[in-house]
Chain A
């Protein structure tokens, strides 16, 4: 089997990122599907190994194609940007914000150059970034700027269910105003394209309803009638495989049973509740629309438990696994690296 190289930026050195990475790479199954490459700092990785009582040989390399990618070895591109004597786990530090940013920057460069197949990212801390005078508010924004792309599309996957979001970080009230025919149609098209880029070319996408029971024929809310249905009908006329609107009580349940290629949820919490309640740890975010594939854990830096070795690596492992699963299908560059 051809295994893709997955770059894993280490995340905020003061958070749980380094711990989830070393724990995850202690799982031989990860090496069955992927060639994980850590972008980070050697002392931080060693520290995390000690904290988690793990043993591994660290293989410092300059270029991804010189990695060994065997279980028991952690292949690392080392950036000398952390003074471990000054590192305080669980604390906001400018040094860590800066370091976390540089790991991402390096990983993005490798991905843009086609040296790695995908990124599986670990948590960064907004406060640490701010302390380092890095103005971006989050990961996705950093990736947008570094890769010169606009408006990437986030997809959540859990237990085979895929969920897109018509809107994300706006108030519930505002999200209702964003349910317009134009936007729903645009998202049906963009989501279909995103799925195709991941190699998912078959199947029906479902659009969730906005109101309780989809408004029950306009009794409580008419956005289904005035906006959502016309958008779906137009998409169908254009040849898109899409159905809906289907009430939130049913659509995610059906999706988990494999009825749909994906669900377009109409607001943040609709899709977030449906996915995270199924399995919080295995809910993985996949960013579409970047020139490279990127998956991400959905937990934060968890400063309160950093350094204790108790963090669960399930989410990290799942993020690597999904990056590996979709890498062979993801087409952006012609220079795809395989054995």
Chain B
């Protein structure tokens, strides 16, 4: 393990949402990283006042790398288009959000930061502004010119990765191609080794259909695509279990000894992780040329400015980014 100070870029997300709240709350403690927030300074100042949180904002200087100090935030200013009314989406500020993400992403690509930690954006308002946008994960893939990424949610007890993310359920079957599944597994396998220091990862792979297709009686994608991919990668040395019926893949017996579960679609794995008491989840994008973690919750517009927003997920996302930076094998 190195003694470097991890340099973390943090984006404030949708300005009307709780991104600013949780960043300001988190910033009240000393943190084991050099933290720089990409945000509108006036938004942070306004929200801090609303929350009655003391904060000192200063523009980040690239050459000054130091651990985060309680109550002080280094920022890279991103201008708002219009002033923010807490809790109220404004289509005019969609470009503000996109600029924030682009600049933070670029700064990571330029190695000015070791990792990117994001807070929630609002997909709907960005689309309303005329920019097709399905999520951070897909946007960052585009920005970094990465053809395929894997979204993974992780808690201290369970890691769940997805082959498809924000896709209509009716299109999932067509999206599960041999190539896509194989690449997903390769990305996941590689990331478990390089980012989580697991030398021989054990991965459980869910089927697509009920009962994992029951020998083709309930769908053929397992036979045509999934099993051949698993067989090929097993021959290449990967330790893969499956395809498993998804309804029993998450029982304690089946999870024992598994380092991650690969699910075929969003709602196959995420509801389990989020609701069944596996703890605070962090969203991490695998396969990007940069390290990126994120909170697992939404903009929670109604909580913005109330002081009710919970920082646990952001804290977990930051911790994970720091861990990965420190453990990264070069």
Interface check A85, CB cutoff 8 A: no
- Contact between A249 and B173, CB atoms less than 8 A apart: no
Report B47 CB to chain A, min CB distance, Å: 25
Give per-residue flags for A36-72: 1 if the beta carbon is below 8 A from chain B beta carbons, else 0. Answer: 0000000000000000000000000000000000000
A249-B271, A249-B275 known; A172 vs B134 contact (CB < 8 Å): no
Mind listing 18 A-B residue pairs with CB under 8 Å?
A169-B211, A170-B218, A170-B219, A171-B210, A172-B169, A172-B172, A172-B265, A173-B173, A212-B165, A212-B265, A247-B267, A248-B267, A253-B271, A269-B268, A272-B246, A273-B246, A276-B247, A277-B251
Complex-state Cα separation, A222 to B213, whole angstroms: 26
Beyond the given pairs A219-B127, A249-B275, 14 more chain A to chain B contacts, judged by CB atoms under 8 angstroms and listed by A's residue number, are A168-B210, A171-B213, A172-B173, A172-B265, A173-B219, A217-B124, A222-B168, A267-B169, A269-B246, A269-B247, A273-B246, A273-B268, A276-B248, A276-B250
Closest to B167 in A: A220
- Determine how close the nearest CB of chain B comes to the CB of A114; give it in whole angstroms: 35
| Binary B-proximity of A239-259 (CB < 8 A = 1, otherwise 0) | 000000001111011001000
Interface string of B297-315 (1 = CB under 8 A from A): 0000000000000000000
CB distance from A68 to the nearest CB of B (A): 38
User: In the bound complex, what is the Cα–Cα distance between A295 and B173 (angstroms)?
Assistant: 33
A276 to B268, CA, bound (A): 13
Find A212's partner among B211, B219, B266 (CB 8 Å cutoff): B266
**How far, in angstroms, from A210 to B170 measured CA to CA in the complex?**
9
CA distance A213 to B172 in the complex (A): 15
Note all chain A residues with C-beta closer than 8 A to B271. Answer: 247-249, 252-253, 273-274
Check A221 for interface membership: any CB of B closer than 8 A: yes
Any chain A CB within 8 A of the CB of B59? no
B276 CB–A CB distance under 8 Å? yes
Asked if A169 meets B210 with Cβ closer than 8 Å, knowing A273-B271, A278-B276, the reply is yes
B119 within 8 A of A: no
State A211–B208 Cα separation when bound (angstroms).
15
Interface residues of A in 249-298 (CB under 8 A from B): 249-250, 252-253, 256, 267-270, 272-278, 280
Is B274 part of the binding interface, using a Cβ–Cβ cutoff of 8 Å?
Answer: yes
In whole angstroms, what is the CA distance A173 to B276 when docked? Answer: 26
A220 in contact with B168 (CB, 8 Å): yes
Q: Provided the pairs A170-B218, A273-B247, A280-B251 are in contact, do residues A221 and B169 lie with their beta carbons within 8 angstroms?
A: yes
Q: Is B209 on the interface with A (CB-CB < 8 A)? A: yes
Q: Is B123 an interface residue (CB 8 A)?
A: yes
Nearest CB of chain A from residue B104's CB, rounded to whole Å? 23
Q: Looking across the interface, which residue of chain B has its beta carbon closest to that of A171?
A: B219
Q: Which residues of B contact A223 (CB under 8 A)?
A: 168-170
Known: A173-B170, A212-B266, A248-B267. A220 touches B134 (CB 8 A): yes
Q: Assess the A219–B134 pair: CB atoms within 8 A.
A: yes
A215 at the interface (CB under 8 A from B): yes
In the complex, B329 has a CB within 8 A of chain A: no
A220 contacts B276, CB within 8 Å?
A: no
Q: Does A176 contact B (CB under 8 A)?
A: yes
A304 interface residue (CB < 8 Å to B): no
- Provide the residues of chain A in CB contact with B220, threshold 8 Å: 171
Measured CB to CB, the closest approach of chain B to A87, in angstroms, equals 28
Alpha-carbon distance between A215 and B167 when the two chains are bound, in angstroms: 8
A172, B219: Cβ atoms closer than 8 Å: yes
Verify if A27 is at the interface (C-beta below 8 Å from B). no
| Nearest CB of chain B from residue A96's CB, rounded to whole Å | 22
Min distance, Cβ A113 to any Cβ of chain B, angstroms: 35
Given the known interface contacts A173-B173, A212-B167, A269-B268, the answer about A277 and B124 at a Cβ–Cβ threshold of 8 Å is no
**Chain A residues packing against B (C-beta within 8 Å):** 168-174, 176-177, 210-213, 215-217, 219-223, 247-250, 252-253, 256, 267-270, 272-278, 280
| A213 contact set on B, CB distance < 8 A | 166
The distance from the CB of B238 to the nearest CB of chain A, in whole angstroms, is 24
B275/A252 in contact, CB under 8 A: yes
Instruction: Let me know if B165 and A253 touch, CB within 8 A.
Output: no
In the complex, residue of chain A having the shortest beta-carbon distance to the beta carbon of B273 = A249
Query: Taking CB as reference atom, which chain B residue is nearest A165?
Result: B210
Q: Are B267 and A270 in contact (CB under 8 A)?
A: yes
Known: A171-B209, A249-B270, A277-B276. A215 touches B247 (CB 8 A): no
Closest A residue to B274 by CB, please name it: A249
B261 → A minimal CB distance (Å): 11
Does residue B272 face the partner (Cβ distance < 8 Å to A)? Answer: yes
Q: How far is the CA of A215 from the CA of B127 in the complex (A)?
A: 14
The distance in angstroms between the C-alpha atoms of A145 and B291, with both chains bound, is: 59
Inter-chain contacts of A172 with B (CB < 8 A): 169, 172-173, 208-210, 219, 265
Which residue of chain B has its CB nearest to the CB of A272? B247
B residues near A171, Cβ cutoff 8 Å: 173, 209-210, 213, 218-221
Report A140 CB to chain B, min CB distance, Å.
15
**Chain A residue with the shortest CB-CB distance to B263:** A273
What residues on B are CB-neighbors of A211 within 8 Å? 168-169
The CA of A170 and the CA of B218, in the complex, are separated in Å by 5
The smallest beta-carbon distance between A212 and chain B, in angstroms, is 4
**What 0/1 readout, one digit per residue, does chain B (204-217) give for beta carbons within 8 Å of chain A?**
00001111010001
From residue B123, how far is it (CB to closest CB) to chain A in Å?
6
- Which residues does chain A contribute within 8 Å of B169, judged by CB atoms? 172, 176, 210-212, 221, 223, 267
Cα A305 to Cα B244 in complex, Å, equals 20
